[in-house]
Amino acid sequence: MEPQEAAVEGTTLSQYLLNVARERVNSLEGEVRHSVPDTLFAKRGGQDGVLDLVTLLQSIKLAIKSVGSLVRSAGIPGSGVTVPQERGKEGDIANGSRLLCQELNAHANQIWINALLYSQRSCVLVSEELPDPVIVQEDMQGKYAVVFDPLTGLSDPPAQNMGAIFGIFRQLSGGNPGIVDVMQPARNLVAAGYALYGACTVLMFSAGYGAQQFVLDTSLNEFILTEPNVTLPYSGAIYSINEGYAAEYDSETQEMLKCLKAEPAMDGRSRTCRYIGSMVADIHRTFKKGGIFMYPPHQRGFPNGRLKLLYEAGPMAYLVSQAGGQASTGTEHIIDIVPDSIHTRVPVFLGSEDDVNFATGFYNKKAPWGRSDQDPMFMLRRTLSREEKKRELPKSNTPRASDVVDDGIIAFHIG
Ligand code: FBP
């Protein structure tokens, strides 16, 4: 049985992880052991390696559930997270909300750090909330480096579409763990995911076998698999960007936005804009409905874009690739970029293949369509190219994770 076949709707996250792990061990034992792609477990670790990663993921699951319940009760007197009255300016709701967010953020970070340390399966931790990596003390070390943003989307008041993002790398160095273990491109991730604390808690996850969606069943307090093979539509009608910065985007971005709005989506629908201001929520909608999420550079404080490569853009790029979509900075695949520091920021264009190709064509002269203002054939070539693509599309209109193995998209961890 292929690992993807272990993904059956209704399975719990714990069962799913063990199923995939077991299938991987079986395939190792049954086939030529050293030539089988190594994804879910340590190369030399065999069964133990599988269980190490499963144990680490169980701790992450616990952190997500704990933060989720904090988010839901934050601000309620007597709950774990409140703002001491003397710190908020009386009557200033915005200030109170900002302080509450800070409290929540600090709690969420501590919950993740504790969960990862006590799993005893990690060696280096990078959190958005900490300036430096945490090197786990020797007697608690495992072989995985974990990067995470414990609570994102805090530009909105609490309890509105916050989320968490994480990625897991295998330790690179054989010896003492260090920063080098996280300076890897997202292509090297062995697993990644995001949690969205919305009306329900959703977990989007991948360990290299496509993307799966789980929803927290609060009566069981367990994540249940609801979508075994999440696939991004090839094209969509929704674009997601903070248009408040329109005047501060560079000329390519402004031109791209103008053209995007002027032209209908591939299926003829008019474009529509949605922007929540929480990347997890905006990207989750993109997974479901297709289209594009963008955070380009702008001159109101973020000349390289706002989102961080290691623990925001990278894991999202890995997930979106596993679901048949694309993620680019405009000129490079995000999944291939080696970070030059742990908090490096990158521009992000992520979502349906057709829409990402369209947007990035304005930045990259090597992209198929060139820039509209320099190329009078721009619209014509774009239309022709899309017509060809339409004819090629399978009936489902979406590439399946299993279809892209030959492109090397799934086979990240070989060799
Ligand atoms: P932080 O880097 O401060 O965590 O902000 C991240 C974020 O909240 C994303 O989740 C979201 O997409 C973006 O910032 C919104 O930024 P803006 O308010 O500039 O549109």
Q: pLDDT tens for residues 135-157?
A: 999 999 999 999 999 999 876 55
Q: Is the model's pLDDT at 403 over the cut of 80?
A: no
pLDDT band at 412 (very low <50, low <70, confident <90, very high): very low
Start-end of CATH 3.30.540.10 domains in the chain: 13-230
Q: Which fold has domain 238-403?
A: D-Maltodextrin-Binding Protein; domain 2 (3.40.190)
What is the CA(168)–ligand 1 centre distance, in A? 22
Predicted model pTM: 0.83
Residue 206 has pLDDT above 90, yes or no: yes
The structure tokens listed for 18 are 């063990």
Question: Residue 218's pLDDT band (boundaries 50, 70, 90)?
Answer: very high
Mean of the pLDDT values across residues 121-129?
97
The per-residue pLDDT for range 72-96, each reduced to its tens digit, is 877 666 666 666 555 555 555 556 6
Give nearest CA residue, ligand 1 atom 15. Answer: 277
Residue 362 clears pLDDT 70, i.e. is over it: yes
Would you state the pLDDT for residue 2? 56
Q: Is pLDDT of 346 > 70? A: yes
Answer whether CATH 3.30.540.10 is correct for domain 13-230. yes
In the reported structure, the alpha carbon of residue 307 is separated from the centroid of ligand 1 by a whole-number distance in angstroms of: 7
Indicate whether 344 pLDDT > 50. yes
For residues 46 and 344, the model is more confident at 344
Q: Is 85 left (phi over 0), alpha (psi -120 to 50) or beta?
A: alpha
Q: Give 46's pLDDT tier (boundaries 50, 70, 90).
A: low
pLDDT at 357: 92
Is residue 171 lining ligand 1, measured as CB closer than 6 Å?
no
When mean pLDDT is compared across 80-94, 133-147, 303-317, 396-410, the lowest value belongs to 396-410
Residue 107 pLDDT class (50, 70, 90 cuts) = very high
* pLDDT of 384 above 70: no
Helix, strand, coil percent values for the chain (each to nearest 5): 40, 20, 40
Which atom of ligand 1 lies nearest, measured to the CA of 155?
8
Q: What is the mean pLDDT of the segment spanning 161-176?
A: 91
Q: Is the CB of 345 under 6 A from ligand 1?
A: no
306 lines ligand 1 (CB under 6 A): yes
Confidence (pLDDT) at 156: 57
pLDDT value of position 161: 85
pLDDT surpasses 50 at 208: yes
> Has residue 51 got a pLDDT over 90?
no
**Residue 166, φ and ψ in degrees, nearest 5:** -145, 155
Say whether pLDDT at 377 is over 60. Answer: no
> What mean pLDDT do residues 390-404 have?
41
Give the confidence band of 21 by pLDDT, cuts at 50, 70, 90. Answer: confident
The predicted pLDDT at position 153 comes to 84
What local confidence, expressed as pLDDT, does residue 251 receive?
A: 93
> What are the CB-based long-range contacts (under 8 Å, 24+) for 14-22?
14/58, 14/61, 14/222, 16/212, 16/214, 16/225, 17/54, 17/57, 17/58, 17/207, 18/54, 20/207, 20/209, 21/50, 21/51, 21/53, 21/54, 22/50
DSSP-H helix ranges across 46-191: 46-73, 93-119
The DSSP code for 89 is: P
Q: Please give the pLDDT value at position 265.
A: 86
Phi and psi based region of residue 91 (left: phi greater than 0; alpha: psi -120 to 50; beta: remaining): left
Q: CA 34 to CA 23: how far, in whole Å?
A: 16
Residue 350 · residue 322 · CB < 8 Å = no
| Residue 6 pLDDT | 60
Using a pLDDT cut of 90, give the percent of the chain over it. Answer: 58
- Please count the other Cβ atoms lying within 10 Å of the Cβ belonging to residue 139: 6
Least confident of 222-231, 261-270, 290-299: 261-270
pLDDT at 343 over 60: yes
Q: Is 46 a pocket residue for ligand 1 (Cβ < 6 Å)?
A: no
pLDDT band at 263 (very low <50, low <70, confident <90, very high): confident
Q: Is the CB of 305 under 6 A from ligand 1?
A: no
Once rounded to an integer, what is the mean pLDDT over residues 366-388?
A: 50
pLDDT for 279 equals 95
Where does CATH 3.40.190.80 sit in the chain?
238-403
Task: Determine which residue's CA is closest to atom 1 belonging to ligand 1.
Answer: 152
Q: Taking every pair of C-alpha atoms in the chain, what is the biggest distance, in angstroms?
A: 69
Range from 117-131, 250-264, 394-408 carrying the lowest mean pLDDT? 394-408
Q: Which of 59-68, 87-96, 163-172, 332-341 has the lowest mean pLDDT?
A: 87-96
pLDDT over threshold 60, residue 410: no
295 Cα–ligand 1 center, Å: 9
